[in-house]
Amino acid sequence: MSANLGSMPALELTKGMTVSVKTFYIETFGCQMNVHDSEKVAGVLMARGYRPVDAHEDADIILYNTCSIREKAAQKVFSRLGAFRKNGAGAGKIIGVLGCVAQQEGERFFERAPQVSLVCGSASYARLPELLDQLEAGNRRVKGLALDTEECFETELTRRDNRFRAYLTIIEGCDQRCAFCVVPMTRGPERSRAGGKIVAECRRLVDQGYTEIQLLGQIVNAWRDPGPAGWSFAELLAGVAEIPGLRRVRFTTSHPRYFTPEIVHAIDSHPALCNQVHLPVQAGSSAVLARMRRGYSREEYLEKIYCIRRSSRAISLSTDIIVGFCGEKERDFEETLSLLARVEYDQVFAFKFSPRPHTDAEGFADTIPEEEKSRRLTALLECQRQIQIRRNQALFGQVLEVLVEGYQPRLGQAVGRTATNRVVNFPGKPSDIGGYAKVRVTAVGPNSLVGQRVDEANRASLPAVILSAAKDLGSTLDWARGH
Ligand code: 5AD
């Protein structure tokens, strides 16, 4: 590897004074935690004088922030690296692998992909400045792979990509031992940030103009205040929601085990807490849940749902489901379908089980054939699609508040989200972005709504775009939750 930051092109500022123009490109795979980690990594690099670029061809440093939750996700970084090897595009550049695949593969990356100079798991991001020192000094096998950390990746330098919604990690790592899940092996033990610091950072974000904050954690509701106040998670939610000027607070991902009535009470009594809960169930059969080691039965999960449904606000529900887990019988799968019918989620993220290294389920017998997993996934998605059409139809004619996040010039459509996390498209203009609009629902699909703005007097109304349920605009946008 011949790349050397010291020999990069130099820009002459004033006579005798030069500064290296160092550029970086970062591509992120996976969940919101990864997206936000990349924002922090970018902030650290920019504070050292690196400039972000939009194409890897223009970058001196190329970073991949990887995901290993399923085999398919983990393969993505290898296909990127393989392409470099084939066409030589990586020559002269520094290539780094961050995140969960970095942690999982560790130093093997240096053998498997010799063009890689940096391998760093998320538990070592606090060491990034030191690792960058090593790279800048010419070291080409730099690694941060320790997992036994008690630190969180705290930095003032975050470069946030979204101007309206700020992500904020409040707890890192995971202490659960779900049989299918690789996260405890790739993100290390749970560590919570102090409540006082979190609220102070939220205040700063509001001062900077953010009106929506999303609190993040692999298991966000396992958060416990390590600080002197000793807040519960529900108390933290209330504390954040009471910050003047903050209009929307979301949190993800919650584990059913730690989902308490106090959280529902906090949502009930704080309008700024979005009436939306993502509560992964994974399976509808207690036998499968026990083999997954989820720590709750179907009935216990449903108790949490009833508690949420008793709220004075209409709380929107979403979930994650794994189909085809080892030993999942047809009747187990039917229990998952009946759970969907019972709960009536507004959104479901469903995945075929994918065995992961060093997890308990890696060694489980009774694997389900791939075709059968696919059949179950298709059946489940179809069942859920009907539920979503029904639920969205109930919104027809209602006026919803939308935070506008984008504009599609070709269609003259603004697009945003409701507090319940539904995507809404409506005739708008570029300057709507960043503001809140009141929109009456005029058409619905399974994944998004279409409407007309009702809170602007004498608006020149663009022709309404009526979308069929099958052709869903929302799906053309990049709204992926990322996993
Ligand atoms: N196979 C398939 N899906 C998985 N998930 C986690 N691990 C696996 C796996 N081994 C899913 C779960 C989790 C979501 C983030 O990814 O549904 O909630």
Q: What single letter denotes the amino acid at residue 303? A: E
What would the pLDDT profile of 214-231 be if each residue is shown by its tens digit?
999 999 999 999 989 999
Provide the phi-psi class of 302: left if phi over 0, else alpha when psi is between -120 and 50, else beta: alpha
What would the pLDDT profile of 150-194 be if each residue is shown by its tens digit?
888 888 889 998 889 999 999 999 999 999 999 999 999 999 999
Residue 5 DSSP code: G
> What is the whole-number distance in angstroms between the Cα of residue 84 and the centre of ligand 1?
29
Q: What single letter denotes the amino acid at residue 219? A: I
pLDDT over 90 (residue 41)? yes
Residue with token string 């794994």: 322
User: Nearest C-alpha to atom 2 of ligand 1 is from which residue?
Assistant: 353
d(CA 118, CA 139): 9
Q: Is 325 in the pocket of ligand 1 (CB under 6 A)?
A: no
Q: Is 353 in the pocket of ligand 1 (CB under 6 A)?
A: yes
What would the pLDDT profile of 365-408 be if each residue is shown by its tens digit?
989 999 999 999 999 999 999 999 999 999 999 999 999 999 99
d(CA 154, CA 133): 19
> What is the whole-number distance in angstroms between the Cα of residue 469 and the centre of ligand 1?
28
What would the pLDDT profile of 322-335 be if each residue is shown by its tens digit?
999 999 999 999 99
For 392-427, give one letter per residue: b (16+ CB within 10 A) or e.
beebeeeebbbbbbbbbeeeebbbbbbbbbbbbbbb
Contact partners, residue 283, CB within 8 Å, separation at least 6: 289, 292, 294, 321, 322, 325, 328, 332, 335, 336
Q: Can you list the positions of beta strands (E) in 129-275?
A: 142-144, 165-172, 191-192, 212-217, 248-252
> What is the whole-number distance in angstroms between the Cα of residue 180 and the centre of ligand 1?
7
Q: Is 254 in the pocket of ligand 1 (CB under 6 A)?
A: no
> What is the whole-number distance in angstroms between the Cα of residue 377 and the centre of ligand 1?
13
